[in-house]
Amino acid sequence: MAINYKAELVGVLGYPVAENPTGVMQEAAFAALGLNWRYLTMEVKPENLADAIRGVRALGLRGINLTIPHKVAVMALLDDIAPDAKVIGAVNTVYRAGDRLIGTNTDGKGFLRGLRDEAEIDPKGRRVAVLGAGGAARAITFELAFAGASELVVINRSVERGQQLVEALRQDTSAAIEFVPWSSTYVVPQAIDVLVNATSIGLYPDVEALPDISLDQARSDLFVCDVIPNPPDTRLMQLARSRGLRTLNGLSMLVHQGTIGFELWTGQAAPEAVMKEALRKAFEMS
């Protein structure tokens, strides 16, 4: 057998990016499958993004992740964008097809995979309330609409940003869409089947923060999700469990979007359990 010392490279571009944990789970996955691949965590300022993408091409990277603030700006620098990512308006994963760089968005898909596989909930026909209107909320709401959710309620502090998301959803999906300004405590109505926190409220180091909501009128089988992976057991998760409600934490979405990227890059099935355990240990140490 010929000796090959060449490692295949993937990574993440962001600014700042030092606390991004994606490399932990991807490196664990490469090791588990015996792949000579490396995941690089690279800090790139916005004004240097175009040069960084030229570097991705020149160095032959097999793919990259994009995080804040590059998810929108990168779209103009790629050869093609997946149709759903075009509608969502953001790219968080790029994979190579020959010499072409293709952008897609795995955030919402990762959320849906966790909802279906771990919680065994099909969003089709469900009424879902989503806290937030940022990048995560945008990806999640669009994917829920594509999956057949019957009604989506967007709750956000910024009226302008919330209305922009609602208008985009109404234009590109057939779900019933409502916007609720988050000017006071949001009382989750009994009609809602699934509640999703797509904000950064509760993210480390602000682990005691809790979204300003009330579950007093919520249905007894409300399902509560959080996109925050660190800590996995947020105050929202604790509140929901204290009411006897089922939950899905943010570790699920982070792992599942990562497995989709892994599969796009390597062409192999991702070792999901290995990836989740690697992240769990990393977060325990943080």
State pLDDT tens for residues 223-251.
999 999 889 999 999 999 999 999 999 99
Catalytic residue list: 71
> Is the pTM for the entire model greater than 0.85?
yes
In a domain, 149, yes or no: yes
Distance (Å, whole) CA 275 – CA 23: 10
Torsion angle defined by CA atoms of residues 138, 68, 195 and 246, in that order, rounded to the nearest 10 degrees? 140
The predicted pLDDT at position 286 comes to 64
Residues 125 and 240 occupy one common structural domain: yes
- Between the alpha carbon of residue 17 and those of residues 8, 13, 133, 255, 269, the distances in Å are 21, 7, 22, 18, 27
User: In this predicted model, what pLDDT tens digit does every residue of 116-128 receive, in sequence order?
Assistant: 999 999 999 999 9
Is residue 71 domain-shared with residue 84, that is, in the same domain?
A: yes
Q: Do residue 166 and residue 134 come from a single domain?
A: yes
Residues 122 and 243 both lie in one domain: yes
> Is residue 3 in a domain?
no
Looking at the structure, do residues 83 and 211 belong to the same domain, yes or no?
Answer: no
Can you tell me the distance from the alpha carbon of 128 to that of 222, in angstroms, rounded to the nearest whole number?
10
CATH of the domain at 24: 3.40.50.10860
Lowest mean pLDDT among 3-7, 115-119, 211-215: 3-7
> What does the mean pLDDT of the chain come to?
95
Which residues, other chains included, contact 285 with Cβ-Cβ below 8 Å and sequence gap of 6+? none
**Are both 27 and 159 inside the same structural domain?**
no
Count of structural domains within the chain: 2
Give residue-wise pLDDT tens across range 21-80: 999 999 999 999 999 999 999 999 999 999 999 999 999 999 999 998 999 999 999 999
- Give the length of the chain: 286
Report d(CA 108, CA 110) in Å as an integer. Answer: 5
Q: Are 228 and 278 members of one domain? A: no
Longest dimension (CA), the chain: 66
Both 175 and 82 in a single domain? no
Residue reference for tokens 């090791």: 31
Domain holding 258, by residue range, is 8-105+252-285
| Residues 74 and 177 occupy one common structural domain | no
* Mean pLDDT, range 154-163, rounded to an integer: 96
Same domain, 184 and 86: no
Over 90: is that where the pLDDT of 104 sits?
yes
Q: Is residue 1 part of a domain?
A: no
Rounded percentage of the chain residues whose pLDDT exceeds 70: 99
Residue 2 domain-assigned (yes or no): no
Asked if residue 207 and residue 268 are part of one domain, the reply reads no
Residue 215 pLDDT class (50, 70, 90 cuts): very high
Identify the pLDDT of residue 205: 87
pLDDT by residue (tens digit) across 139-148? 999 999 999 9
Residue 218: CATH number of its domain: 3.40.50.720
**190 shares a domain with 100:** no
Confidence check: pLDDT of 285 > 80: no
